[in-house]
Structure 1
Amino acid sequence: MKRKQINDNVERVKTISAQIRLQESKVHHIQNEPLVQIDVEKKKCEREQREVVVQQCAAQRELCHLMKELQKGIVDRELWTIRLDFSRIEIVSQEATLRELRNELNNVQAALENIENLLTRAKSNAKEKLLEAKRTCNNKLPQDPDFPYKDEFNDLPSDLRQLQELCIELQTRIDCMGANDDQIVKEFENRERLIAKLKVDVSSSSETNKNLVEKMNKIKSKWLPALEKLLNDINRSFGNMFSKLGCAGEIRLEKTGSDEDYDKYGVGIFVSFRGGEQLQQLTRHAQSGGERALCTALCVDEINQGMDAVNERKMFQLLVKVTTECDNSQYFLLTPKLLRHLQFGESVMIHTIMNGKQIMNYKQWNVVKHLENAHNYRP
């Protein structure tokens, strides 16, 4: 037991001796080091500190400037996106109007086609009767020099009324003829009536065809210039908005085929998203999904994302101003909350939806009490 204690003491002495030698070495090292000039080092530290502060202030100012530019860019982008949405809505409305006009035009074309079919059949029947008349006259016509009944034909009156009176007179004579000639007379009468009817049908069809063509041209003169003017206005707005986005875009009225082939009329959207690139028609194959969404999106989610209260207020007031500039614009804003003291136009309608498991029955709702509480509320 004593031996162990002695050994422990010996080890402790060795450890303490080693520590003493280490400390002596450190003291010797410190004594040999050159003296530090405290004042010089202090001034050097202060100078470096001032430089760091100046650099930090400059970096802070640059950061503030970049944040302002970022906020302005976000507001401008959302503004042009909203205006682009309005242009797309107007295009959809005009396309609906164009479809209605096309339906009306299709009805007119169907009626015209029916009349043309009647006219074709009438011409065919008239041609057959003319051939039959030629066979009875040795295949000759009144304008031929050797027409066998030239004298009789020249004796016929040129006035329609006189010709009708002559027909009545001849009919009377035929009635006085013998019974053996009844079949011939009936056949002659039938042919005369058929010829007269065919002449009336041909005249009526020609007049109807002329009236339909005039009506079509009149209708076309009403909607085509207005449609072209509307598309020009849309094209100007669409192009301006795309130029603000660093792109190019056009709206065109496309006519494939003749001008009367209204079924092939269409509205073409042509866009270019890179500088120097030619305009290409907007299709689901030529552009990417993001590019197509930029051209035709009708819904914007989280429009105020990343905005502070000041810019959110500006965006809301700008939205109200843009949507109330014309009578046919509308915009739906869905939000769980609004900033206080916003300005609303007369055409703005607000719907407050009160719903949920804890909502009371509408019969229990005290409107007067609620208004008093709202009036007395002070945040």
Structure 2
Amino acid sequence: MEVFEPPMICCSVPDSRYTNAVEACFNISQLKTFVAQCEEDYQLLNHCFNDSAEAGLRKDGKVNTWYRPKLEHTLARPPMSMDELQELGLDAYAIDKIDCPDGLLWYLRREVNMHRTAVGLDGSKVDVARAMEAVSRLGPRGEGGGATFIAGNVINTVQRSRYGRRVAQNMTRDLRPARNLVASAVDPEVKRNLDLVIQGARQALEVINEGANELAAEERIIREQEAVYKRKFDELDERKRKVNEAKKRLGSLAGKIEVCKAKLMELENAPPVDDERVRLKQELLDISQKRVKVAKDYTQLIRALIVDQIAATRSGIEFLQVGANRSALEALCQEKDERYQRALAEFEEGAQGTLFYFILFSFAAAVAHTHDAMFAADKIFLAAKEDAKSKRDISVELVRKMDREFQEQFEKMEVDGSVHERTVDQLRAELETQKANLDLIMITNPGVVDQYERRKAEIGDLSKRIEDKEKKCLGLERDIKFARDNWQPALERLVASIGKKFSAAFDRIGCAGEIRVSPHDDYEKWAIDILVKFRDKEKLTLLTGQRQSGGERSLTTILYLMSLTEEARTPFSLVDEINQGMDQRAERAVHDSMVEVTCKPDSCQYFLITPKLLPDLMYHERMKILCVNNGEWLPEAKGIGNMMNMIDTFVQMRDRSSRAG
């Protein structure tokens, strides 16, 4: 249904003389109120404007909306008829002087009471006293009793007293000039023309919609036909694809048939296996003969090389001897020169001239003899050098004529010096070894091939078994990981929960403690590490039987058991003499923690066996203390003594002494 804009927008006063009076019937809130004609529109308006932030209003902003069910019998009737209005000098009711949509009239009557507000332009003609009596009359159902009328520029608000004689009372105020309804918001003629245009457009839209519906029906039929044709086309296309695939497959099979025929013909025309075996043996024999020939050539070269090596060795020895002789001669010359220098020095000191000439002659003769010996040694050295060079050239030429493999081997021997290290006997022994190897080449074992095939098959079987075992191993590892992923997080959460309580218990006694899971590759070696610190300067250390004292171990054990108690679901727990070895501070803290944990409503039953307890400990009403007397000093008669009476007597005496003090 239509929702009306506020009256200040959609209402107008055709007769401008009544503008002030008509606007005076409204307050500012009523002028700005949106009016709905049904509950759904009213709720939607409130949701969009006031309840949702999408409207963009300020936090303190609010849009006025209104809706009331249209119940005519609940509405008060006008206080006067039109004849009475004319008789009293009033012109009409305010609702008759306003132009508004029909749906807005219920709002103007129900909320603004414009159907009960009389208006008279000329105040001098209005009989105010009679008008007061008229507007304050009660209706047949007791309604009315008061109303408003405007006489000129005065607004009269009449009410009847609710007590006593219920006389009519009139409250007057001046009529203010209108500010909102002064100018018509909407020209009625323009609105009428626009309504006609809208109506024509709606009719044209209906015609277009009818045509569109017809076209939609035709389109639907065409689409159905298109779907049928498309389905047929897809079927034909699928058949075409299958035919093409069959053609390709036939072509491929024809090619394979030709290849198979060629292979079959080749196998049919192939020589027998025995002939092939004979041919292979002949090829093997030819290759062996070639290798024997190469080995013989190599042997000859080695023999020639041995001869050359002997000559080269001899030349080297001679060269070394000549070098040694030359060194000896140089040493002798140096010695002679030193003697000459000494003799010359003696001569300079005053030796006789005859002695000088004799010494000088002797020295000259010695020098001449030395020079002759050096010249002869040089000649021998040069001859040996030329001989070694010629033999080296012969060896190089022989090596150059050998195969590339032997050349590389010989070069390697020259580089690493092994060719100079081996003696003639060693070279001859190696030659005999190579001959023996050549003789073994021709000796073949017919069972080697069978043994090779058998071992190859065994290796294949073992490899397959290893592969199967590796697959099983991977499967087991995967299963182990899956199982571990299921229980390890739960275990870690449980240990973390216990560790949190364990650390809190240590914090309460001024120490530090922590619990960790200690994983290991061997699941039997998994453990829970308990780390404790009892002194400020220490670090967290693992709880062991060597580092911590007995009291510290007992304290750690009971706090760990307390932490387990909150997580465990056992019916009861029993601890024996856990407080032994503790100092009083730790024992008191442990006792308080034990009471706090075990006396909860959902805690399991907890037994603590101890030979002694500290005085003035904290006790809970859920605790029960059983004192067991045992020993040789107990009386033999039964039924004597009552521990509870003794305790009660002690408590009473203590209370009396405290009150007396």
Q: Which TM class, normalised by the smaller chain length?
A: 0.3 to 0.5
Q: Which has the higher contact order (CA 8 A, sep 6+)?
A: 1
TM-score, normalised on structure 2? Answer: 0.21
Q: Normalized against structure 1, the TM-score is what? A: 0.34
From the CA coordinates, give the structure whose radius of gyration is larger. 2
